[in-house]
Amino acid sequence: MKKIIGILLVAMVCVAPLLVTACAETTTATTAVNWSTLLTQIVVWGIGALAAVAAWALKKYVYPWFLSAVIPWLKTHNLVTVAELAVKYAEAELGRYTGTEKWKLAIALMQAKGFDVDSDEVIAALKAAWETLDLDQIEAGIKTASTSTENTSEVTNA
């Protein structure tokens, strides 16, 4: 970090005399150097230097955090969402009392979306989505608790 700031400061010190010379060549002997143009150029170079340091800091500190924390969270969130959609679709397509067929349809949908259906994460996400749907149906009065438990054990054995 200190090296980068040092290099930027040296570059600015080297560029400043060039700017003064450029401004002096365009003026006549009776007019003074346009200090507003010179100051503007120095500020522009300073902002560029700060942007370069900010980009370096983002790459060094934020990007690794993004890869290690955000990307896995997005994958897990996507898995849960797709599992919920697959279970709801299977329920809507096949109706009640077809637990094994619904499970196979949900697995097929997950596989069609590119998920590894043999992994424990996919199976766990589908079971969690299935239980959530069962609880929602029990709460709505569509199912009873005993029917839900029998269906779940039937599916997990399939």
Q: Which residues contact 32 (CB under 8 A, 6 or more apart)?
A: none
pLDDT one-digit tens code per residue, 88-101? 999 989 887 788 89
Residue 155 in this model has a pLDDT that exceeds 70: no
More confident position, 29 or 103: 103
Q: What is the C-alpha separation between 156 and 113, in angstroms, rounded?
A: 22
> pLDDT tens digit string along 39-78?
999 999 999 999 999 999 999 999 888 888 877 777 777 8
Reference 80, options 133, 113, 112, 122; nearest CA is 122
Nearest 5°: the CA angle 12, 18, 24 is 135
